[in-house]
């Protein structure tokens, strides 16, 4: 198999992957956009929401899974569906050109064309990767800040509960002393 045929095959596979990714993104967008629209779904009757009383603040702190859900975000999907394959394609193609160039003189004759192709792939790949990493880094710093606030609120809650327990015990002792007099 010639190098050109292999490059054509890689191009077709990447185009198919891009089409599949575009369909997944459009499907997810439509699913989120149509969520809660009853006239599109057949024979659906709008549901009446029950009004529930708001939980107490103390219960909110105790229920960790409602406060922060660790789920897969769009940025995580973006990193693994676009950035990772692009980097792998870029590095893989560069490695393939180097490997082929060591054993095939025809590749060395056309090395300028291959390095241009590597540069064309590398330019957008680096920009996309940099932006994706910046967004991911920001998301991670927001999670870190959330956990710092959460930890401080737990510390404050425990401190207040301990002070309250000490105050109750102190009042009980005072009351006991008054009763003995």
Determine what percent of the chain is predicted with pLDDT higher than 70: 76
Alpha-carbon distances of 113 from 69, 82, 134, 150, rounded to whole Å: 49, 25, 32, 55
pLDDT digit string, tens, across residues 119-137: 887 887 787 778 778 888 9
Q: What's the rounded Cα separation, in Å, for the pair 148 and 81?
A: 30
Query: 54 falls in which pLDDT band (50, 70, 90)?
Result: low
Least confident of 2-6, 94-98, 155-159: 2-6
Q: What angle do CA 36, 49, 47 make, to 5 degrees?
A: 50
- What percent of the chain is modeled with pLDDT above 90? 20
Report whether 106 contacts 138 (CB < 8 A): no
Q: What is the pLDDT of residue 152?
A: 94
Average pLDDT over residues 50-75: 56
Q: Could you tell me where the beta strands, DSSP code E, fall in the chain?
A: none
What are the pLDDT digits (tens) for 74-91?
A: 767 777 777 777 777 887
Over residues 141-180, the pLDDT tens digits come to 999 999 999 999 999 999 999 999 999 999 999 998 888 8
Q: Which two tokens stand for residue 99?
A: 């490997």
Q: What is the pLDDT of residue 36?
A: 62
Highest mean pLDDT among 30-34, 67-71, 123-127, 165-169: 165-169
Nearest to 133 by CA among 89, 92, 86, 93: 86
DSSP 134-161: HHHHHHHHHHHHHHHHHHHHHHHHHHHH
């Amino acid at each position: 198999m010639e190098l050109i045929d292999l490059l054509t095959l890689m191009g077709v596979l990447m185009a198919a992957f891009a089409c599949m990714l575009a369909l997944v993104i459009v499907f997810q967008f439509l699913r989120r956009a149509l969520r809660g629209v009853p006239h599109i779904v057949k024979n659906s009757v709008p549901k009446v929401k029950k009004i529930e009383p708001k939980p107490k603040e103390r219960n909110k702190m105790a229920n960790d899974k409602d406060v922060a859900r660790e789920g897969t975000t769009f940025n995580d999907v973006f990193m693994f569906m676009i950035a990772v394959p692009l980097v792998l394609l870029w590095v893989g193609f560069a490695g393939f050109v180097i490997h082929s160039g060591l054993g095939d003189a025809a590749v060395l004759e056309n090395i300028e064309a291959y390095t241009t192709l590597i540069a064309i792939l590398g330019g957008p790949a680096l920009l996309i990767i940099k932006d994706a990493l910046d967004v991911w880094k920001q998301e991670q710093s927001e999670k870190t800040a959330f956990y710092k606030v959460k930890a401080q609120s737990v510390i404050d809650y425990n401190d207040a509960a301990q002070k309250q327990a000490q105050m109750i015990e102190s009042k009980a002792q005072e009351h006991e002393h008054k009763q003995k007099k």
